Amino acid sequence: MKKNSVLIAPSLLSADFGRLKDEIEKIEEAGADILHIDVMDGHFVPNITFGPIMVSAVKKYSSRPLDVHLMLTNPENFIKTFAEAGADMISIHIEATNHAQRQLDEIKRYNIKAGIALNPQTPLHHIKYVISYVDFILIMTVNPGFGGQKLLSPIIKKIKDCKELCERDNPDCQIEVDGGIDLTNVAEIYKMGAEIIVSGNAIFKENDYAAVIEKMRSLCMKIF
């Protein structure tokens, strides 16, 4: 039975960029454990978002760990830049590199957590031989590129399968889940094995961020 507390990682992709400093302060006061930053290049995914300058700006005002999700072609060219910008966690996509283990080792050389991310259609066996190198696995429950998408429910079983794989090969590995998570499905996601919950629209579309985060925690804790 799972006993760990759930960690809530609001995705800044859904924040109001025009008042980002205020949004950071408000979301941290509301109880965010981690701030999730989606970096998109317009090649690996069909959108362009944050760069290292934005990560540096967030770092200036944030007291929470910064979780930088690199949705980039050739992520090896950007690890150093984002690490130096202030990332505390960096995840790369298994689909974007032929040398994942090498890139994970490079991330760890900066004394930050290294993660591997999987798109919805990517089978778990693609990361079988790098499990022992990662601190966390990011399972996408939507096709990455845009916020506000609906969770792909068939992927929920993948979370459970990933948890079983981690328990066997790397018990210290955390499972992070991102994509369409809201109050209707967060408990099931947690029950399947997620420890870090990334949520954007479900939090930032509400006026009371603290109420949403508190409700997410409460729903997760009630299932055990």
How far is C-alpha 175 from the chain's CA centre?
Answer: 9
Give 222's DSSP letter: H
Q: Which residue has the higher pLDDT, 200 or 4?
A: 200
Residue 4 has pLDDT above 70, yes or no: no
Classify the C-alpha dihedral 4-69-53-82 as positive or negative. Answer: positive
> How far apart are alpha carbons 47 and 190 in whole angstroms?
28
Write out pLDDT tens, residues 142-184: 998 777 789 999 999 999 999 999 999 999 999 999 999 999 9
Give φ, ψ of 38 to 5 degrees: -90, 120
Q: For position 42, what pLDDT does the model report? A: 87
Q: For position 189, what pLDDT does the model report? A: 97
* 206 burial type by CB count under 10 A (0-12 exposed, 13-18 middle, 19+ buried): middle
What pTM does this model have? 0.95
Residues identified as active-site: 38, 178
Write out pLDDT tens, residues 185-203: 999 999 999 999 999 999 9
> How far apart are alpha carbons 35 and 47 in whole angstroms?
20
Residue 15 has pLDDT above 80, yes or no: yes
